[in-house]
Structure 1
Amino acid sequence: MRLIFSFLALIITSGAWGASFTIAPPSSWVDPITLPDTTTLKAADPAYGYDYLLINHQVNVAESETFDQNAYRLTSASALGSGARITWSFDPTYETLTLHHLRVIRDGVVQERLREGVVQIIQQERDLDRHMLNGRLTAFVLLEDVRVGDVIDYASSRRGANPVFGGKYMEDLSTGWSVPVRHQRIRIIVPSDRPLTHKQLGDSVLIPSSIRSGNDTILTWEGRDLPVIQGEGELPSWYTPYPSLQLTEFKSWAEVASWAVPLYALPDVVPESVATKAAELTEGLSTAEDKTIALLNFVQQEIRYLGLELGPGTHRPTAPADVLARRFGDCKDKTLLFCTLMRASGLKAWPALVNTDYRDHIKDWVPSPYAFDHVIACVSRGQALWWVDPTLTNQKGGALYRGLPDYRLSLPVDRNTDALAPITRPELAQRRMEIDERFDVTAFDAPARFKVVSRYTGLSADSIRAYFARTSLDEITKEYVNYYATAYPGLTSTKPVSISDRAETNTVTIEENYSVPDLWKSEDSEPNILKANFYPQIISDYATQPSTRVRTMPLGISYPVNVLLTTRIHLHKDWEVPLTESTVTDHAFRLTDKMVGTGRLVTINYRWESLADNVPADKIASHVSAISRVRGTLGYNLTHNKAIAAANANTAGTSDVVPRFRFNWMPIVLILVTSVVMFYVGRHFYALPALMPPPVPAPDETNLVGLGGWLIVVALGVIGRPIFCIVQLIREFGAVFNLDTWEAITTPGSATYQAAFGPIIITEVIGNTLLITGGLWLAVFFFKRKRAFPGAFIALMVFILLFLSVDTWAVDTLLKSDEPEKTKTISEITKVVIQCAIWIPYMLKSRRVKLTFTR
């Protein structure tokens, strides 16, 4: 039906506006520009489709007349369709359109195509889908016989200005383009007693100039061969890649507010219909807040949004009584009606102008009504202000809970306004989502029950209400199932999705119930390993990488966002998971996650907070890196090893499952690599020549030469230590050679997993291998009576003491060893300390040692 209405709007008006334009030469004040010789001008890159030769915009402020001329060459066939369609838009309520020429230049030959009968008038209403009608007309021509290489040159003038601005001039003009532009000129003729405030935003290359001509000032901005600007996707709403020029006669924001005050003036005597409705809505209510909410709810829900922005109606609101009678209006109309209802109830509220996209960035603009595209209301609430938007729907809650978009800055329509004012939003009204997930696992091979309870507040609650209001319950259930099915394939709904709404706190709660048939899965290569993955889908939705990662422009981020996700997994057996926590912080977001398991409950917490609405271009690389870290760690696995479980059950004689053995090559590789390194180190020291001649024994010292005395005790230790270390390595780490065991203790989510297990075991394997190979070399040095033996002996004793101390600290700190194990380890360290205290001085002082180890 909407398409039919739009089509009729085009057809019906096409013949009714034949006299809405004239064909005539431009006014005498226009300064013409001659186009370059296109036959000698090299064409621009055909990929752009257009090669603009001229963009010429001139304004005579005193005459309220604007002249525009555009000339472009078509450089590709893809541009023929749009390039041959010429349009001029104007508002017939206050503007007249004059067409000057429409030329096609081919091979240097000018063809004038503008004549009676070729111009059609239509009323398009481009904003009809946004429930807005502006009444603007479009004159258009569909050029025939247009070819690649042709130059299209057309010019027109519009005379008249919107009377709502009281004769003041203002304009926003683009000074940067996405296609080649060889020449752009902006020329403004303004009476010298009407000074303009102007500002170039962005990286404009147009050069300004100013001259006096009689009683006028002529301002000019001109540039040639403008750089082509390539926009990037995912930009913040307030950022535009194209520079612009702003001009205004308004000197300050106070002057803009003064302009708006009479437009939004509340009637001295409230119309009877409005007063009656206010009394009806507030009957029985005693507090100012309750009355305000009743009036606001009425305007939000009962006055539908539709804007008739015809002529002055672009900025002048409709009378409140008329809005109430017809039950529709735009933001201006609904806000003024709300403020009038408030006055009728003895309460105070006034309109405030905001910008929905550029928000607080308008503070850098020149003062102008064009800085605003929306109107909200400001309510006096004691010493505080309460900002509300009468155009929003599906809202509930009082002053502390009712949501408001992040407008940030406003211009209150009040005679005392002298600057832009910040908009404050209550903390409890912020957009927030709290999602609780619960899994109930009764067996590894049984379906798991999955329940999701989501609580939404602020604008999030408004969005959910609107979604449920316009969508059937069957469709909602289907969409929710498909959402979670991406993480849990085969998931089915066991109950319809339900909603509960707590109006007083503006909280909407959604409950979902599912069955997950195959939560625990194994892979063909590892049939004994069962894994259950718990994936935070909602966090993943926010932790997305930009499509354009090498950027020169900021990246827009959803803001503000505050999501708390808690996943509780109730298992059918004990599952100890050590506490793990991590935080990833970036310029634009912070993600914290925590996992812990005690008894049969494993809990996973995520919190995603957006910290800014954009990522600057110079921080994109670090942002991409941070998102990669987040996505690389999202989700947790719980792992069950059937082989180990079967082995434990067989020990108790209760299982008929025979566990298999898969060899783990990792410790073998560590042992071999360490042994090879020690072989070359030992051979190096074995081959070192003596730096000094050996000591000569005195006649009475000959009995001290040789392996005797206390060296017999040393010999026993030298021989026994490698054997002891080999036995200990096999006894302590034999299970590590089973790949199933290794995966069970090193796989996150396993019942036996601890993050420090893997690194500590690897360190201990390497350390014990060093002790074995070092002990073997020490035995060689001993029986070969090498002079390097005492130093090697001392080094090995010191290494044993340090290794045992560090290993004890690591096990106690990272693995939280129990008291008996801690006492046993401390006893071993004490023994080594005593041995060092005895044998290190012996090696340094003993005459037998010096006379025996001389080679």
Structure 2
Amino acid sequence: MAQHGDPDVADVTSPASGDTSPALSDPTALGTLPDSATFTPTPNFVSELAPPARGTEVFEAEGGVRYALYQLEHTNMGEDPREYVRIISEPVTSGGVDSVANGTVVFNPAFQTLEFHTLRVERDGSFEDRTDSTTIEFARRETRLERRMFDGRATAIVRFSDIRIGDRVEYSYTITGRNPALPANDSREIRLGFGAPVERMLVTSTWPNSRPPHYRQLGPAAAANVTASSEGPAQTLRFGPIPTATFTGERSAPSWIRQSPSLQLSDFANWEDVSRWSAPMYQPGSSDAVDEIADRIRAEHADPADQLVAALRFTQDEIRYLAISFGAGGYVPAMPPETLERRYGDCKAKTVLLIALLEALDIEAEAALVHTSQGRALLDGLPRHTAFNHVIVRAYLDGEAYWLDGTRREQGGRLDTLDQPDFGFALPINTDGAAPVAMEPTQFGESFFEGEEALTIHSINGDATLEVTYTARNLGADRARTSLSRTGRADLQERFLDQYGARFGAVSSTRDLTIEDDRETNVLIMHMQIGIENVLTPHEDGERLQASARMQMRSPTNGNAERNRRFPLTLTYPVHQTARLVVDLPDAMADWTLEPEARQLTVDGIDFSTVRSRDGNRITLDYTLLVDRPYLPPEEAAAALALGDQINQLTRWSLVSP
């Protein structure tokens, strides 16, 4: 059964649609869960539409379910927007029965009401009303709990009883309501195709002629184009009714790629209007609590650049992240005095606090809306408030602009080495309005991550010592510091021992893990010494001996991704990594050889090399991997994936006896 809620444009597994409210969150009113389901007649704005007759199906069922009809009709003609959904589906396997008989409908009780209209089953040509025999229960739906994000949405859990293969199960409902933060505007995105075929699909959206929407079809070509017509005071956009084929997704496509077609609607005239709409929410004003912190920062740091970083660190470190976004709290931030008293806040609260601190330090700053995963495609869509799920700060100092994210943890570096976020495009917020601006990624000349493994083999018996040193810089140090804050030194040491034990067998710590962290220069160094009982194993030829393992290098690609692609290929980005293996041999093993040999591999966006050298009984193998872009076009994917396979082979080294 389909689920009503935020559409995931990369998810093409089942029919779904709904609002795309971003996760900009802060506490307001939490809606009350209904005690029971409400049933009302089908609204009069809905079209009469029959499913296709049995035996006339165009498509073969997929996933154990045949979707006979999917009908979504939206209207903005009343005081609040209303969205009607009707689905008729037929299980054709026992697994399909479970899918069809159990479903969910998601809504936000803080400002939306849910009304059911039809719950019935058609079996052997007869219709059975299942209103009284179907169980509907309500529960909170917090899908991002592990990320400390609470939005207050609720789930209606619908359970049909006595569903059999071949039944046609029909249900319909309407969700009514407008987020109170948006009294005058609406924007939404409705899917026009799914990861399963639909025999008959109808989508309509009706708006007042006095406030007609802008609309745009996005993603792959849909089964038909949307048409617009006017009648009386209303303009209606219409898709179908029409059969829609399966839209199959590809692994490792960028998150901003729409892998199924959709219809985007918005009554914002331009991006400047969206910017102006947000501006009143991000005017922090002054407060004694903020001034006190700013005075302390100014007393401790004379340089404005250091003051800016100190304000950022305070916001990141002293205010824990917690997003409780109920009702209008999805858009309206808490003000600095409240955030400072609570000592927690979401991205909006942290942004307003950071702006207030910077303004108190006489540093110009403004908020900017971004989308953490879909921001690179911002300009492909219409101006709309639902284009964003995060907000950050753009600060100005000495003629330079700096992107600052108050929600990042354990970030290090001075202002000139601070890793700045790159979400593709950002929309600055100000009262005069602003257009989206491109975000430039931070450029660093030195490696983010360096690893060195120095293996000393003491005798032909294979007893050995491994000295491990990892040096993380800039973005690499930020990531390592964040990981350490979650796990701690002792847990990380155990992970190292497990990791090297999987490579070499019996291992033990001969020198505990040490960590040196210089947050100002943003360099973090980890060092550990490990004893190996016997590093040698039989060679695959059954005659020789070898020591073999894989260096810790990131893979630039996902090896499971499709080679022949329609969509771009995501790369592991950014990566600037070096690794070194140093092997010291006893005289009895002086004639052993180390593989692989030196190699240089390059495709657009990826550079990889290995360099091997020898000085007496010491053999050194150096690796370098550089990934300088986030994705590649489809026609370059096969070469990049092939190179990724080669890299995975070359990062495995073998020391082999004669």
Same fold? TM cut 0.5: yes
Please give the alpha-carbon distance, in whole angstroms, between the structure 2 residues aligned to 1:130 and 1:18.
Answer: 29
CA distance change for structure 1 residues 158 and 16 in 2, over 3 Å: closer, same or farther? closer
> Are the equivalent residues in 2 in contact too, given 1:481–1:493 (CA < 8 A)?
yes
State the secondary structure of the residue aligned to 2:332. coil
Do structure 1's residue 545 and structure 2's residue 562 form an aligned pair? Answer: no
> What SS class does the counterpart of residue 226 from structure 2 fall into?
strand
Aligned to 1:74: 91
In the alignment, the residues of structure 2 paired with residue 126 and residue 525 of structure 1 have an alpha-carbon distance, to the nearest angstrom, of 52
Contact 1:306 1:328 in 2 (8 A): yes
1:222 equivalent in alignment to 2:222 = no
Partner secondary structure for residue 647 of structure 2? helix
Structure 1 residues 47 and 522 mapped into 2: Cα distance closer, same or farther (>3 Å)? Answer: closer
CA drift at 1:553:
4.1
1:184 is the counterpart of 2:201 = yes
Shift of 1:608: 0.9
How much does 1:602 deviate? 2.6
Choose from 53, 59, 69 the match for 1:54. Answer: 69
CA distance in 1, matches of 2:165, 2:253: 34
> Structure 2: how far apart are the matches of 1:185 and 1:458?
51
**8 Å Cα contact 2:32/2:109 also seen in 1:** no
Query: Superposed, which structure 2 residues align to 1:411-810 within 5 Å?
Result: 411-415=427-431, 418-428=434-444, 432-445=448-461, 447-519=463-535, 523=539, 531-533=546-548, 535-539=549-553, 541-542=555-556, 545-546=559-560, 548-549=562-563, 551-572=565-586, 581-639=598-656, 641=658
Q: 1:345 to 1:109 in 2, by over 3 A?
A: same
What residue is the counterpart of 2:188 in the other structure? Answer: 171
In the superposition, relative to structure 1, how do residues 550 and 559 fare at CA in structure 2: closer, same or farther (>3 Å)?
A: same
Q: State the structure with bigger RCO (CA 8 A, min sep 6), 1 or 2.
A: 2
Residues 1:258 and 2:261 are matched in the alignment? no
Summarize the Cα distance change of 1:543–1:599 in structure 2 as closer, same or farther, 3 Å threshold.
farther
* 1:232–1:425 distance in 2 versus 1, CA, 3 Å: closer
| Aligned-partner residue type, residue 449 of structure 1 | T
Task: Pick one of 139, 142, 146 that aligns with 1:122.
Answer: 139
In the TM superposition, what whole-angstrom CA distance separates every residue of 1:591-612 from its partner, at most 9, and x where no partner exists? 1111122344332211011243
Deviation readout 1:572-627 (Å, 9 max, x if unpaired)? 55789999642111234221111122344332211011243334443343334323
Task: Give the 3 Å change call, closer, same or farther, for CA 547–494 of structure 1 in structure 2.
Answer: farther
Aligned equivalents of 1:118, 1:566: Cα separation in 2: 62
Check the 8 A contact 2:451/2:470 in 1, yes or no. Answer: yes
TM-fit CA distance, 1:509: 0.6
Helix, strand or coil for the counterpart of 1:411? strand
Write the distance in 2 (CA, Å) between the matches of 1:524 and 1:298.
56
Question: Could you tell me how far 1:372 is from its partner in structure 2?
Answer: 0.9
In structure 1, the residue matched to 2:267 is: 249
The separation in 2 between residues aligned to 1:174 and 1:419, in whole angstroms, is: 27
* Distance of 2:321 and 2:234 partners within structure 1: 44
**Preserved CA contact (<8 Å) 1:331 1:376:** yes
More displaced stretch, 326-335 vs 511-520: 511-520
Give, in angstroms, the shift of residue 389 of structure 1.
Answer: 0.9
Separation in 2, partners of 1:231, 1:556: 14
The residue aligned with 1:161 is 178
CA distance in structure 2 between the partners assigned to 1:14 and 1:43 by the alignment: 43
Q: Structure 1's 265 and 597: CA in aligned 2 closer, same or farther, altered over 3 A?
A: same
User: Any idea what SS the aligned residue of 2:376 has?
Assistant: helix
Conserved? CA contact 1:500–1:510, under 8 Å: yes
| 1:112 corresponding residue in structure 2 | 129
Q: Equivalent residue of 1:504, what SS? A: coil
Distance 2:155 2:421 in 1: 34
Q: Deviations over 1:167-202 (max 9, x none)?
A: 212111111211220111221212223232222112
Structure with greater strand share of residues:
2
The one-letter code sitting in structure 2 at the alignment partner of 1:514 is: I
Aligned to 1:332: 348
The total of aligned residue pairs comes to 623
Return the alpha-carbon distance in structure 2 between the equivalents of residues 511 and 519 of structure 1.
20
**Alignment partner, residue 257 of structure 2:** 239
Matched, 1:410 2:426: yes
In the aligned structure 2, how far is the partner of 1:450 from the partner of 1:227? 57
Q: Distance in 2 between matches of 1:446 and 1:95?
A: 69
Structure-2 separation of matches of 1:184 and 1:496: 63
2:10 matched to which residue of 1? none
Provide the TM-score with structure 2 as the length reference.
0.87
Whole-Å Cα distance in 2 between the matches of residues 395 and 292 of structure 1?
Answer: 13
Deviation string for 1:208-246 (max 9, x for gaps)?
212121232221122522111233333332234222211
Query: Where do 5+ consecutive residues of structure 1 fail to align?
Result: 1-12, 642-855
Q: TM-score, normalised by structure 1?
A: 0.68
Query: Which residue of the partner structure matches residue 199 of structure 1?
Result: 216
Structure 1's 595 and 277: CA in aligned 2 closer, same or farther, altered over 3 A? same
Are the aligned partners of 2:591 and 2:657 in contact in 1 as well (CA < 8 Å)?
Answer: no
Q: Where does 1:240-389 land on structure 2 (aligned, <5 Å)? A: 240-267=258-285, 270-389=286-405
| Residues 97 and 445 of structure 1, relative CA distance in 2, 3 Å threshold | closer
Aligned-residue offset at 1:524: 9.6
| 1:475, distance to aligned residue in structure 2 (A) | 2.8
1:423 offset after TM fit, Å? Answer: 2.0
Conserved? CA contact 2:447–2:578, under 8 Å: no
Superposed CA deviations along residues 630-680 of structure 1, whole A, max 9, x for unmatched, are 344444545554xxxxxxxxxxxxxxxxxxxxxxxxxxxxxxxxxxxxxxx
**Unaligned 5+ runs, structure 2:** 1-29
Cα contact 1:430–1:459 (8 A) shared by 2: no
Displacement of 1:407: 1.6
Give a deviation string over 1:683-726, Cα, whole Å, max 9, x none.
xxxxxxxxxxxxxxxxxxxxxxxxxxxxxxxxxxxxxxxxxxxx
1:232 corresponds to which letter in structure 2? E
| Aligned-partner Cα distance in 1 for 2:485–2:541 | 49
- In the aligned structure 2, how far is the partner of 1:571 from the partner of 1:86? 64
Q: Aligned equivalents of 2:538 and 2:158: distance in 1?
A: 67
Instruction: Name the counterpart of 2:14.
Output: none
1:539–1:119 distance in 2 versus 1, CA, 3 Å? closer
Secondary structure, counterpart of 1:289 in structure 2: helix
Shift in Å, 1:497: 1.2
Q: Secondary structure at the match of 1:385?
A: strand
Letter in 2 for 1:346: D
- Secondary structure (helix, strand or coil) at the match of 1:17 reads coil
C-alpha separation in 2, matches of 1:639 and 1:89: 60
CA distance in 2, matches of 1:67, 1:476: 52
1:47 and 1:562 map into 2 onto residues whose CA distance is 43
